[in-house]
Amino acid sequence: MEWRGTGILLAVRRHGENSAIIEVFTETHGRHAGVVRGGSGRRMGPVLQPGAQLDVVWRARLEDHIGSFTVEPIRSRAAAAMSDRLMLAGLNAVTGLLSFSLPEREPYAALYRRTEQLLDLFDHPEVWPLAYLRWELALLDDMGFALQLEKCAVSGGTENLIYVSPKSGRAVSREAAGEWADRMLPLPDVLQGIGFAPDIEVSEGLKTTGHFLQSHIAGTLAGRPLPEARARFVDAFSRRL
């Protein structure tokens, strides 16, 4: 068995004396693991950094074997991320959530392309948090938990939509929320694609997407807490406000 493609490096862990097991996210093969011979050595260490874009060839005797990768670097994103503490936290959040959420070897082509575009925005830190929020919405959508924010879940109206139901992920209007308002999640304009997306609205949006990442992806699919890297990014962003 053999295939070749380009992918985003998600995770690296040492294997044996000088090898490594890596996870890459590719457009056609999804999240895929394999062994890199010499992957923990001096030559490969700088190449195998989370977020790196790699040309990979995977080989195995049988399809269900872990197999091995040979890799060639296309571009590194570590330098751009490390120049900004928030960007580095964001990089770790993206790779951590993908490694945590994606089933092995199932393709998510649209999410892959969106992830590649997001990681290539590190040179634009002023827009990166907004792009990241939209990426989290896409991740929820692809994992089967799309938020429905176009109309009120109670009245069917489209005016004064300022809440999200923490159970259904549907919008709720100010009037329909009533006595339950204090139990609702915020629905800032930025989640609806309205307005100029100030950072405070992005922060509110991350509170809402974070709830569903935890309750639906972590709680339903994985049965364990979200990666701490996501919380570290949100904390770093909140401190910058």
Give the per-residue pLDDT at 221.
74
Per-residue pLDDT tens, the chain, 241 aa: give them: 999 999 999 999 999 888 999 999 999 999 999 999 988 888 888 899 999 999 999 999 888 889 999 999 999 988 778 888 999 999 999 999 999 999 999 999 999 999 999 999 998 989 999 999 999 999 999 999 999 999 999 999 999 999 999 999 999 999 999 999 999 999 999 999 998 899 999 999 999 999 999 999 998 776 788 999 999 999 999 998 8
Give the per-residue pLDDT at 222.
62
Domain ranges of the chain: 2-76, 79-149+187-240
Give the per-residue pLDDT at 42.
84
Give the per-residue pLDDT at 86.
93
Q: From 42, 124, 47, 44, select the one nearest 80 (Cα to Cα).
A: 124
How far CA 55 is from CA of 32, 58, 115, 118, 172, in Å, comes to 13, 10, 16, 19, 46
Please list, residue by residue across 8-43, b when 16 or more beta carbons sit within 10 angstroms of its beta carbon and e when fewer do.
Answer: bbbbbeebeeebbbbbbbbbebbbbbbbbeebbeee
Class of domain 2-76: mainly beta
Q: How many CA atoms lie within 13 A of 68 on its CB side?
A: 8
Class of domain 79-149+187-240: mainly alpha
Would you give the DSSP letter of residue 45?
T
How far CA 70 is from CA of 24, 54, 55, in Å, comes to 12, 10, 8
